[in-house]
């Protein structure tokens, strides 16, 4: 028997809420906005459940919706009134605990321009290929690679001395 939409939503929320919340927080830099974006993501997914053809994984589908939802939030006129100062204590809990060094890297990622931050979060934090990240962001693979390269160069300069190559 096929699951109905409500059963699917319950299972999807249990499995994907925390990864979506972490991604939305990293993109929006505000915990309350991230929570709202995750709720909107699940609502949009619930509404579009019958249209999900399974051409990609459920995680990819939900992340794509979340990225577009975050982009919509960032474009909102009221966004300019939101305090975007980042407080790492507000970051949703990780599945595996961060080490002290990871906090420095996360703070550096949060300072990246939003377009670069999106590809870094999807590729390095969520483990999607650059091609998948490009599809989620609605850009070409080449543009995603360019953004990722710029972000990595920016992070390399910002974190000089924090780590050492061996």
Query: Which residue shows structure tokens 């992070």?
Result: 155
pTM of the model: 0.67
Bridge partner list, 160: 163
- The DSSP secondary-structure symbol of 76 reads S
Cβ atoms of 106 and 78 within 8 Å: the answer is no
Does the pLDDT value for residue 45 go beyond 70?
Answer: yes
Confidence at 1, pLDDT banded by 50, 70, 90? very low
Does the pLDDT value for residue 119 go beyond 80?
Answer: yes
Query: What's the confidence (pLDDT) of residue 101?
Result: 47
Query: What's the confidence (pLDDT) of residue 94?
Result: 54
Q: Structural domains in the chain?
A: 5-158 (1.20.140.160)
Average pLDDT over residues 58-72: 92
Burial class (CB in 10 A: 0-12, 13-18, 19+), 18: middle
pLDDT digits (tens, 9 = 90+) for 155-164: 999 888 766 5
Instruction: Say how far apart CA 139 and CA 109 lie, in whole Å.
Output: 20
pLDDT digits (tens, 9 = 90+) for 10-27: 999 999 999 999 999 988
Query: What's the confidence (pLDDT) of residue 126?
Result: 87
Query: What's the confidence (pLDDT) of residue 90?
Result: 56
Query: What's the confidence (pLDDT) of residue 56?
Result: 85
Query: Which residue shows structure tokens 């709720």?
Result: 39
Does the pLDDT value for residue 108 go beyond 60?
Answer: yes
């Amino acid at each position: 028997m096929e699951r109905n939409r409500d059963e699917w939503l319950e299972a999807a929320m249990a499995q994907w809420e925390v990864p979506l919340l972490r991604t939305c927080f990293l993109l929006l830099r505000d915990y309350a906005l991230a929570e709202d974006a995750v709720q909107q993501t699940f609502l949009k997914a619930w509404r579009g459940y019958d249209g999900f053809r399974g051409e990609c994984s459920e995680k990819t589908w939900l992340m794509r919706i979340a990225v577009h939802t975050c982009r919509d939030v960032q474009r909102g006129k009221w966004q300019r009134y939101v305090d975007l100062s980042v407080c790492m204590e507000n970051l949703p809990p990780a599945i595996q605990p961060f080490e002290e060094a990871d906090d420095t890297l996360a703070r550096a990622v949060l300072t990246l321009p939003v377009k670069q931050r999106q590809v870094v979060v999807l590729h390095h934090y969520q483990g999607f290929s650059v091609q998948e990240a490009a599809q989620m962001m609605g850009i070409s693979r080449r543009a995603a690679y360019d953004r990722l390269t710029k972000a990595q160069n920016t992070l390399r300069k910002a974190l000089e001395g924090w780590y050492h190559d061996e």
